[in-house]
Structure 1
């Protein structure tokens, strides 16, 4: 059970960081971000499907190739045709902070699943089709994954990797768990951010009120502000597997929404 006193204390304090689905102060833009239980920067405007040219959409791929299990026709169609890697985040429920992550690779015969990893998403309210700063929800949608970074040196990332002390994450999370190491490795999710920049970039094309800094990052054992978190070993595998030439995306939402 989540301790309400801890949640209130975190929400009342000034933003610490640029990751995990929130905003930040002017000082936060000048200094390194701090905690995973805080907001983050991020610059992309819309889903991968919204940015894909007409005629290039369609998660089914070639005729007769099955969809990714669990994805309905709308979600599958939102995956750009050129995409060959999809990180599927399936939430346990609309208001649940628990989810599962599977990395799929598209081949000539269809989408092939990799390992299944337990994950966390946003605290208390789970998911939203209209994510806002401080709503403690993760954004539903299909988003590209073009940029990575972290506090630790590049572990062999195929995506552009931004190594910076700005990914330092001191403090504690909603359950009092230490946040140190949460941003050892991150992959920027293109929600309200500018693709092709460091995950620490504060550009917000949809405006600051729509949040940003939504990342895949290292799990700290409890829910996030809006990011998706998995074990450090899983993050290393993602970084060593996702590659620009495969145009990777994340498909994220609760199970019933994904099936639509």
Structure 2
């Protein structure tokens, strides 16, 4: 969970280091490694970013560097996540559909279920690698999976 704990998903704000409470769908995954899942899944490359710039039309989605309307940096208020920089955490990950469709700028972006890193997360839910390895083949798109947080 986020280093500042769990907060109400309806009022959560970006950069608060909190995990949003609520029930969310999971419709896709990504990772540095092959996912081993029937979910739509993208193997990340050095071109892939999760856009956290609230001024970008791609806010709270994965986008490549080509055609980017966001700064290609992780620094500052307009920074985004360069996914390949998190090889351990994003070995395999599932997207928690918090603040998507439509994404409200500033509410938060990039909330995932992923492999543990070192310490608490910035708002994601993390699990041990062995647990993620069991989740990936188990989770099925046709079953309309959800995650309940809180």
Displacement after TM superposition at 1:251 (Å): 0.3
* 2:42 match: 162
RMSD after superposition:
1.4
* 2:32 match: 151
Displacement after TM superposition at 1:206 (Å): 3.5
Displacement after TM superposition at 1:169 (Å): 2.1
Displacement after TM superposition at 1:221 (Å): 3.0
Q: CA-to-partner distance for each residue in 1:136-191, whole Å, 9 max, x for gaps?
A: 1100000001111101123x212111111233125xxxxxxxxx411111000010
Q: CA-to-partner distance for each residue in 1:195-240, whole Å, 9 max, x for gaps?
A: xxxxxxxxxx242210111000110131011000111221121110
- 1:1-260 to structure 2, matched below 5 A, reads 121-123=1-3, 125-129=4-8, 130-154=11-35, 156-165=36-45, 166=48, 167-169=83-85, 180-194=87-101, 205-253=102-150
* 1:68 match: none
Gaps of 5+ in 2: 49-82
Equivalent-residue separation in structure 2 for 1:227 and 1:185 (angstroms):
13
Q: CA-to-partner distance for each residue in 1:111-155, whole Å, 9 max, x for gaps?
A: xxxxxxxxxx001x201112111111100000001111101123x
